[in-house]
Amino acid sequence: MQLAFVLYKYFPFGGLQRDFMRIALECQQRGHQIRVYTLIWEGDVPPGFEVLVAPVKAIFNHRRNEKLSAWMAEDLAKRPVDRLIGFNKMPGLDVYYAADGCFEDKAQNLRNSLYRRWGRYRHFAEYERAVFAKDAKTEVLMISEVQQPLFIKHYDTPLERFHLLPPGIAQDRRAPPNAAEIRAEFRREFSLGDDELLVVQIGSGFKTKGVDRSLKALAALPAELRKRTRLFVIGQDDPKVFQLQSATLGLGDSVQFLKGRSDIPRFLLGADLLIHPAYNENTGTVLLEALVAGLPVLVSAVCGYAHYIAEADCGLVLDEPFEQAQLTQYLTTMLSDDAARAAWSRNGLAFADTADLYSMPQHAADVILAERH
């Protein structure tokens, strides 16, 4: 089959982007042709992929999205495909990968009523309706059960159009046999002493991921513990606001901001704790990447994958609604207790051996390639 995939932006470090790549490669391995429509492509193009970057410009994102849709529709009319798979919501999709939560629900509950008069609202509401409307034909790949009831509530989407996928953690995130050597080498490279503790926060979109909360918690640690704790924040984002906050809190050299990078497994093996107090997060792939690497996790309950941390008993899940004092208390407890961290690490590795955390690309490809009636 000739398959077309569409996503607004591709860069190698985004969770959505990595999911897209692994699903597209899985379909290619099964013998199908891959075409990609996008607005921005950063990084290498896999052999055999036809990548088309739309030559469109607009001041507002929603106008740019509309121009991409029109440009793509024109090309598809000339060169049709068997399936169109979208990683952002838009009209005309055969399959949609639901990485984002329900826009309409947020618009009604988190925004004032004026917001719904803007062109931006109308655009995103219309594009979401095109996917989830009761009489739409789009099959939906769900990566979190949390949002499904909201889509059904707002759009009356038939249940049989939803396909819940298992997580899709890459096997290279699992702790290898020489994990201890990699950890020692990593800690030498970053000049981490034996008694120093490294906390990592990983993910693009520092505001949503709650980096401000992490910085406050670090600053509030007991003096002795704070002195030997370092925080690395890694992701594709502009850190200026958070660097300023860090300086204001007097955190100095104990916090470092690093750009998105491809050697994340080393950080997961070299660190002592992953912190992820996100404001909202449909899933949170990095939580499972930490779990399978044996790195204890401290996470907010709103994350779709937080329940795996509780099930595996490989860290602590904050209560909802979020309280900063609890984050500080949990962080203090986790960093102070070496034995508990070792137990959480063992539990995570044991869970990684038995749970299906890896087969998302295969299941997604099954749905994409299934016969349509």
When pLDDT is averaged across residues 19-44 and rounded to a whole number, the result is 98
C-alpha separations of 344 from 82, 138, 277, 327, 350 in Å: 46, 41, 18, 18, 10
The whole-chain average pLDDT of the chain stands at 96
Phi, psi at residue 159, to the nearest 5°? Answer: -55, -35
Residue 289 in this model has a pLDDT that exceeds 70: yes
When pLDDT is averaged across residues 265-271 and rounded to a whole number, the result is 97
| pLDDT recorded at residue 373 | 63
| pLDDT recorded at residue 111 | 83
Residue 148 in this model has a pLDDT that exceeds 90: yes
Phi, psi at residue 229, to the nearest 5°? Answer: -110, 135
- Decide if 26 contacts 364 (C-beta within 8 A): yes
Q: What is the pLDDT of residues 314-372, one digit of tens each?
A: 999 999 999 999 999 999 999 999 999 999 999 999 999 999 999 999 999 999 999 98
Q: What percentage of residues in the chain have a pLDDT greater than 70?
A: 100
CATH of domain 2-166+358-369: 3.40.50.2000
29 CB-near residues (< 8 Å, 6+ apart)? none
d(CA 234, CA 249): 19
d(CA 127, CA 262): 32
Residue 112 in this model has a pLDDT that exceeds 90: no
Q: Which two tokens stand for residue 144?
A: 């979190």
d(CA 277, CA 182): 27
Phi, psi at residue 59, to the nearest 5°? Answer: -70, -45
Residue 21 in this model has a pLDDT that exceeds 90: yes
Strand partners, 56: none
| pLDDT recorded at residue 95 | 98
| pLDDT recorded at residue 32 | 98
Same fold, 2-166+358-369 and 171-354: yes
Q: What is the pLDDT of residues 196-250, one digit of tens each?
A: 999 999 999 999 999 999 999 999 999 999 999 999 999 999 999 999 999 999 9
| pLDDT recorded at residue 117 | 82
d(CA 77, CA 205): 36
d(CA 359, CA 25): 13
Residue 301, Cβ density class (10 Å: 0-12 exposed, 13-18 middle, ≥19 buried):
middle
Q: What is the pLDDT of residues 177-187, one digit of tens each?
A: 999 999 999 99
171-354: CATH topology is Rossmann fold (3.40.50)
Label residue 146 by pLDDT band (50, 70, 90).
confident
d(CA 50, CA 144): 30
d(CA 289, CA 168): 10
Strand partners, 229: 197
Q: What is the pLDDT of residues 114-127, one digit of tens each?
A: 888 888 999 999 99
d(CA 317, CA 309): 7
Domain ranges of the chain: 2-166+358-369, 171-354
| pLDDT recorded at residue 258 | 97
